[in-house]
Amino acid sequence: MSDAEGPGACDLTARLAPEILTEIFLTLLANAEHSDSEILSRNPSWLLSQVCGRWRAIALSTPRLWCSLLPFTNEIHGRRPFPVSSVLALASAHIERSKPLPLKLRVNPEWWFKDCHPLLNLLLLPSQTARWGEVRILHAREDDARSQSILAALKSNTFTCLKTLCLEVCDFTGEPSRIMLPMLTSLTLFMSSPSLLKTLSTPLLSHFKVKYILLGRNDHRTSASTDFVSFIQKYTSSLTRLELDVSNINAGDLAGLLKKLPILTELRLSDMISQLPTLFSDALLNGLRSQTREPCALPQLQTLSISGDLLSSATSLLLDVLESRCHGSETCGPLRSVQLYLYAPFKPETTRRLKTLAETGMDIAAFIFASGHWVQVELK
């Protein structure tokens, strides 16, 4: 580059429209949330706003670029903690610059151990909880004094725009209180007690995911299964995605429940088939089979994922089900995508039938567990 071209000649982004740069910035933000690098590297909003005047103007005029508080709420648990005062200042700036848009964050009562209660108090203000759009709540327990502010916020019914909630290692087995989340569409329980489900109201719920039930002080295996089934039954007309990775839910209850989900389009099951493989085969798979005259379970199902151990007879029946639903019928639509994660080796006949299904247009992905990880099976 010659001197005549000027110092700005190397800035190729000067030719990009602001709208293009905005989309690039937002993509960087989405990727950075899952990075293991330093806090500012995981927060491109600040880095991008420091490059030049034009980039700063674009960043500051893009509220969506400041909606995620994950870089700060994650950093409290980082290997090299950022000073709490700096975290609070940065989070406050994000809240201001994101305007009225929904916020994405995580909260944890264990922050009290790290002198982070000013940040927790800020996030739990009614004016802020009303902006929570996507949140993970970790390690909140009914019998823990440090959790009371979080539980009180949940019970205050101020979450008017919360759409995605993940409860991770939470135990709500105390005195039940009604919790209303009117806009919630996605709920995940990870290693958490199901007791909360008894008083939770989510009229728009479409996605429910459960992984590793945590039985609380007053929970029993039977009551936990009942709580889950009762909760799902309340939303049979709205649920479109169901993911279960648990062993505490009775397979028979599940088989009967699936017959009551007319608009479910995605079903993912793990461990369920390992506890009662015969019942899984008889009650569940037979219900999914497409039949000429009788209605089948989950008539709108498009995506099916199964992980675990299957008896040989169940594998054959599963293939029968997939073949019966490959093109759909008068009573059910076509099954478009299938993922199988099985521990037993695939027999040649199984591979052949899966290949035939793939050739007819069904998206098939088969995996076998070997050497400590899942290996995809080539359908030859």
Q: How many CB atoms lie within 10 A of CB 363?
A: 13
The C-alpha atoms of residue 307 and residue 273 are separated, in whole angstroms, by: 8
pLDDT value at residue 257 = 83
pLDDT value at residue 99 = 87
The C-alpha atoms of residue 288 and residue 299 are separated, in whole angstroms, by: 8
Q: What are the CA-CA distances from residue 130 to residues 28, 88, 118, 290 (Å)?
A: 27, 19, 18, 45
pLDDT value at residue 9 = 43
Cα distance from N-terminal residue to C-terminal residue, the chain: 55
Spans in the chain with pLDDT lower than 70: 1-11, 31-43, 71-84, 111-116, 173-176, 214-224, 246-251, 271-283, 291-294, 311-313, 380
The C-alpha atoms of residue 42 and residue 36 are separated, in whole angstroms, by: 8
Contact 65, 45 (CB under 8 A): yes
Residue labelled with tokens 């939770």: 200
pLDDT value at residue 122 = 81
pLDDT value at residue 2 = 42
- Summarize pLDDT for 321-344 with one digit per residue, the tens: 899 888 877 778 899 999 998 888
The C-alpha atoms of residue 227 and residue 187 are separated, in whole angstroms, by: 15
pLDDT value at residue 139 = 85
